[in-house]
Chain A
Amino acid sequence: MKITKKGIAGTLESSDVLVTVSPPVEPGVTIELESIVKKQFGNRIIAVVNEVLEGLGIKDVHVSLQDKGALDCTVRARLEAAAYRAAGISQLQWRR
């Protein structure tokens, strides 16, 4: 999947995360995480992000997350939605 523009999904409310996916300045993956539980779960959130990106075949991207304590499934869902929007895909291919 190729990220061609900026895509956004989620909210800043409790237990949610606002994810922004944008084309990178340089090739590769960069992740910017702001989280109220960064100390406790920062590594876990970044692992989930990498896993989703890999699953979608995204190699060049900048992901920014403003997290308010979202569960893994929420991070996953918000990131997928933002990535699809950023790739300009409106027809969802549901996960196999």
Chain B
Amino acid sequence: MDWGANVIVRSLSPRVPSEREQVDSFLARHGLSYEDDIDYSIGIFSGETMVATGSLSGKVVKGVVVDEGHRGEDLTAKVLTYLKIRAHNQGIDSLFIYTLPKNREHFTALGYAEIASTEEVLLLEDTSRNFSLFLSGLSRLNPDGLPAASLVMNCNPFTLGHRYLVERAAGENPLVLLVVVQEDRSVFPFSVRMKLIEEGTRDLENVRVIPGGDYIISNATFPSYFIKDKGKVFDTHTRLDLTIFGEHIAPAAGIRRRYVGQEPFCPVTRRYNQSMHEILPEYGLEVVEIERRESDNTAISASEVRRLIASGKTEETVKIVPSSTYSYLTSAEAEDIRRKLQGGSA
């Protein structure tokens, strides 16, 4: 491709220290910090001087900056084009970008479509098709418009505690949409988590198990949930994730209530639950928080299951997981996962 003679475009690998340093220091000069989950960057150079950069972390565009002296030369478009082509070659379908709401017009002019925004952050995707397909898929799950309840769960892995929550929701609502976090950042891969949830809820006729895709607690809607970032960034992303849920997902699927388990341990999840109470009622949604079920006076949790496996006591999980999960955990198929947990990384 011919980009004109004035500038050179180079790809910069995060794994090459000198190249990473170039991006890092350019971002630092513009008040941004380099994020560790970046997996690809490009730099645009005038001579040997970097004048613009942009990076990708999976399907999320990060750190797009053009030097003050070179604004108005359409360099943002150049950066985004390169990132788009790189993503396309990696089999990535669409790109997401986070930016400040004041940049809305800048990115919509580049063909990006707004997914949702809060006062502090705006999320766009470079196509509006995926989100509308996702929403129409949700609508088809509830063709009669029943007042549905929803749970969003990671289930790493599915326990009797999760089962108890789902049973409660299934008993109190005509239809339950159980959304499984799709992002693969957990010990148990998405396909396994999904399978164990499906098997463990098969007898509940009004429960539909669906993948959360890119729009419910994903790396796109909620990066800091996975980084376990603290503080303000986390709150910003929480609000964005719940705004998408309240504004788009709930109306598409006829959801009226969101069920959530009380969180005694993880401060991140507890914070998220608290925000649900604050934000979802703004969209007319009721948040139902269910106390944890206990077994021998300890709350049942997936982290307890992982701890037992890690200390070589997989058999003891029998008390806190459904039989479908138990037979998976003790199967030859789960050998790799057991070994991974026993190797110390949870």
A residues with CB within 8 A of B: 6, 8, 11-14, 18, 20, 25, 32, 34-36, 62, 64-68
**B125-148 CB contact bits vs A (8 Å, 1 = yes)?**
011110001000000000000000
24 pairs from A and B in contact (CB 8 Å cutoff)? A6-B93, A8-B84, A8-B85, A11-B1, A11-B77, A11-B78, A12-B77, A12-B78, A12-B84, A12-B110, A12-B111, A13-B77, A14-B77, A18-B111, A32-B127, A32-B129, A34-B108, A34-B111, A34-B112, A34-B113, A36-B109, A66-B111, A68-B77, A68-B109
Residue in A35, A64, A67 whose CB lies within 8 Å of B129: A64
Q: Which 6 pairs between the two chains have the least Cβ-Cβ distance? A: A66-B111, A34-B111, A12-B77, A11-B81, A13-B77, A12-B81
Give the A-B contact count at a CB cut-off of 8 A: 50
Chain A CB within 8 A of B74 CB: yes
* In the bound complex, CA of A52 to CA of B81 (Å): 23
Asked if A32 meets B1 with Cβ closer than 8 Å, knowing A25-B133, A66-B111, the reply is no
* In the bound complex, CA of A65 to CA of B127 (Å): 9
* Closest Cβ–Cβ distance, residue B173 to chain A (whole Å): 30
* Closest Cβ–Cβ distance, residue A34 to chain B (whole Å): 4
* In the bound complex, CA of A68 to CA of B85 (Å): 17
- Tell me the count of chain B residues lying within 8 A, CB to CB, of chain A: 21
* Closest Cβ–Cβ distance, residue B190 to chain A (whole Å): 22
When the two chains form their complex, are residues B127 and A13 in contact, meaning their CB atoms are under 8 A apart?
no
* In the bound complex, CA of A66 to CA of B128 (Å): 11
Q: Residues of A contacting B133 with CB < 8 Å?
A: 25
* In the bound complex, CA of A64 to CA of B113 (Å): 12
* Closest Cβ–Cβ distance, residue A60 to chain B (whole Å): 15
Q: Residues of B contacting A25 with CB < 8 Å?
A: 133
* In the bound complex, CA of A20 to CA of B126 (Å): 11
Q: Residues of B contacting A64 with CB < 8 Å?
A: 127, 129
Q: Residues of A contacting B81 with CB < 8 Å?
A: 11-13, 18
Residue in A6, A14, A35, A62 whose CB lies within 8 Å of B88: A6
* Closest Cβ–Cβ distance, residue A71 to chain B (whole Å): 17
Chain A CB within 8 A of B80 CB: yes
* Nearest neighbor of B83 in chain A, beta-carbon distance: A12
* Closest Cβ–Cβ distance, residue A35 to chain B (whole Å): 8
**B57-91 CB contact bits vs A (8 Å, 1 = yes)?**
00000000000000000100110110011001000
* Closest Cβ–Cβ distance, residue B99 to chain A (whole Å): 15
Asked if A66 meets B126 with Cβ closer than 8 Å, knowing A13-B74, A13-B77, A18-B111, the reply is yes
* Nearest neighbor of A35 in chain B, beta-carbon distance: B111
* Closest Cβ–Cβ distance, residue B51 to chain A (whole Å): 15
* In the bound complex, CA of A67 to CA of B77 (Å): 11
Q: Residues of A contacting B108 with CB < 8 Å?
A: 34
Q: Residues of A contacting B113 with CB < 8 Å?
A: 34
Asked if A18 meets B84 with Cβ closer than 8 Å, knowing A11-B78, A12-B110, A34-B111, the reply is yes
* Closest Cβ–Cβ distance, residue B110 to chain A (whole Å): 5
* Nearest neighbor of B87 in chain A, beta-carbon distance: A8
* In the bound complex, CA of A48 to CA of B126 (Å): 22
Q: Residues of B contacting A66 with CB < 8 Å?
A: 110-111, 126
* In the bound complex, CA of A12 to CA of B113 (Å): 14
When the two chains form their complex, are residues B129 and A62 in contact, meaning their CB atoms are under 8 A apart?
yes
Which among A6, A13, A32 has the highest number of chain B CB atoms within 10 Å? A13
Q: Residues of B contacting A34 with CB < 8 Å?
A: 108, 111-113, 128
In the complex, besides A8-B88, A18-B111, A64-B129, 14 extra interface pairs with C-beta distance below 8 angstroms are: A6-B88, A6-B93, A11-B81, A12-B77, A12-B80, A12-B81, A12-B110, A32-B129, A34-B108, A34-B112, A34-B113, A34-B128, A67-B111, A68-B110
